[in-house]
Amino acid sequence: MTLHFHDKPQGDAADSLASSFTASYTGVIAFIAVVTEGSFARAADRLGVCRSAISRNVQKLEDQLDARLFLRTTRSTSLTREGELFYANCHPGVQRITQALEDMRELRAGPPRGHLRINASTGFGRQIVAPLLAGFCECYPEISLDLQLDDRPAGFTADRVDIAIRDGRPEDSEVVAKRLVPMQLLVCASPAYIQRYGTPKNVDDLANHICINFRNSSGRVTDWEFNVDGQRRRVSPPSICTFNDMGLVHQGVRDGFGIAQLAGFQVASDLRNGQLVTCLESSAPEDRGHYLCYQSRLHLPARIRVFIDYVTEAVRALDLK
């Protein structure tokens, strides 16, 4: 059967084409069921319809093909030569559809498996997310992981990203954003720096201190963020040095080279052991967070669902304060 495609049909012609396609589709389904089950009665039971519906749909298919597909008697049903040829042509497609359905059932019912592409901000991804992956792979050995560290917004479609872990809520309203933990931004200094230069008294006093800035992947120097009298305030203090690697900023502060605003997860252990101290605590922003982002809650694949659950529980169990 050859199909010729023309301009989009209008009105009655469109209705006729849709009706013809529906008849062909239901006829092929009925035909395959009869061949597979060996009789019209068993095919009807398999599809959950009455026997007359099966007969009617097969008859319509035979009329469309202008060929008899079955030899029917009161005791048996067998394929004609034309029926055998038609079934041989249909069978590979049916097998592929059946296999696709079985694969989807296995993905849902069996152990989570498949490939997972994760995009995370560089600092949080390297220090917090990456160390969790070995434990995840041990729990879910049939899931392969691809972790990309990038401070730019993730392209879910263009970059085929399944999950993004970002510092701060994404602006895309179509993305589901689940807050993992609060994101603290702390102005930090070493005890040696404080002893030599003192502590900044307020946000404006930063101009009188030796500051270290961070240049992000877009090439822009990142502002320092504060909450002053209930209002968000961004400042870009003059700096003695600017790095495009947050690890170097962190190391410069520990070495007493200057002060910087750092994420709480980066300096948690340094604060606990006294290697660093915080400044301007009363002006620290309180509404930031680390977010786990994905495209939709609808029909969420098992590999994504278990990763979300695992990372959420693991990150919240860490002492990041």
Residue 4 lies in a domain: no
The tens digit of pLDDT for each residue in 208-260 reads 999 999 998 778 899 999 998 888 899 999 898 999 989 999 999 999 999 99
Residue 123 lies in a domain: yes
pLDDT of the residue at 19: 47
How many CA atoms lie less than 13 Å away from 255 in the CB half-sphere?
9
Is the domain of 190 the same as that of 278?
yes
pLDDT of the residue at 109: 61
The pTM of the full predicted model, rounded to 2 decimals, is 0.62
The structure tokens listed for 71 are 């030899």
Are the beta carbons of 212 and 249 closer than 8 angstroms?
yes
Query: Which residue shows structure tokens 């170097």?
Result: 248
Residue 212 lies in a domain: yes
Where among 91, 108, 125 does a domain terminate? 108
Is the domain of 150 the same as that of 22?
no
Strand partners for 261: 187
Please give the residue range of the domain that contains residue 32: 11-108
Q: Mean pLDDT for each consecutive 10-residue tract of the chain (321 residues)? A: 37 44 70 85 85 89 88 82 86 70 61 88 91 94 91 76 85 80 92 95 93 88 90 90 92 95 92 94 86 80 90 88 63
Is the domain of 34 the same as that of 83?
yes
Query: Which residue shows structure tokens 């097969």?
Result: 58
Is the domain of 267 the same as that of 206?
yes
Residue 2 lies in a domain: no
Task: Of 78, 26, 61, 65, give the one whose Cα is nearest residue 47.
Answer: 26
Residue 201 lies in a domain: yes
Sign of the CA dihedral with 138 first, then 141, 143, and 148 last: positive
Conformation bin of residue 10: beta by default, left when phi > 0, alpha when psi is -120 to 50: beta
Query: Which residue shows structure tokens 């092929």?
Result: 28
> CATH code at 119?
3.40.190.10
Task: Of 242, 246, 221, give the one whose Cα is nearest residue 126.
Answer: 246
Residue 175 lies in a domain: yes
The structure tokens listed for 176 are 């589901």
> CATH code at 47?
1.10.10.10
Domain count, the chain: 3
Are the beta carbons of 287 and 223 closer than 8 angstroms?
no
Are the beta carbons of 295 and 176 closer than 8 angstroms?
yes
Strands (E), 204-249: 211-214, 224-228, 231-235, 239-243
Is the domain of 99 the same as that of 125?
no
pLDDT of the residue at 7: 40
Is the domain of 152 the same as that of 278?
no
Are the beta carbons of 213 and 195 closer than 8 angstroms?
no
Residue 221 lies in a domain: yes
Are the beta carbons of 182 and 289 closer than 8 angstroms?
yes
Is the domain of 199 the same as that of 275?
yes
Where among 81, 108, 135 does a domain terminate? 108
Is the domain of 196 the same as that of 222?
yes
Is the domain of 189 the same as that of 279?
yes
Is the domain of 55 the same as that of 29?
yes
Is the domain of 234 the same as that of 278?
yes
Q: What span, in angstroms and rounded, lies between the C-alpha atoms of 225 and 210?
A: 17
Residue 1 lies in a domain: no
Is the domain of 103 the same as that of 30?
yes
Are the beta carbons of 260 and 211 closer than 8 angstroms?
yes
- Can you give the three-state secondary structure of 20-59, one letter per residue? HHHHHHHHHHHHHHHHHHCCHHHHHHHHCCCHHHHHHHHH
pLDDT of the residue at 98: 62
Q: What span, in angstroms and rounded, lies between the C-alpha atoms of 158 and 212?
A: 35
Where among 108, 126, 154 does a domain terminate? 108
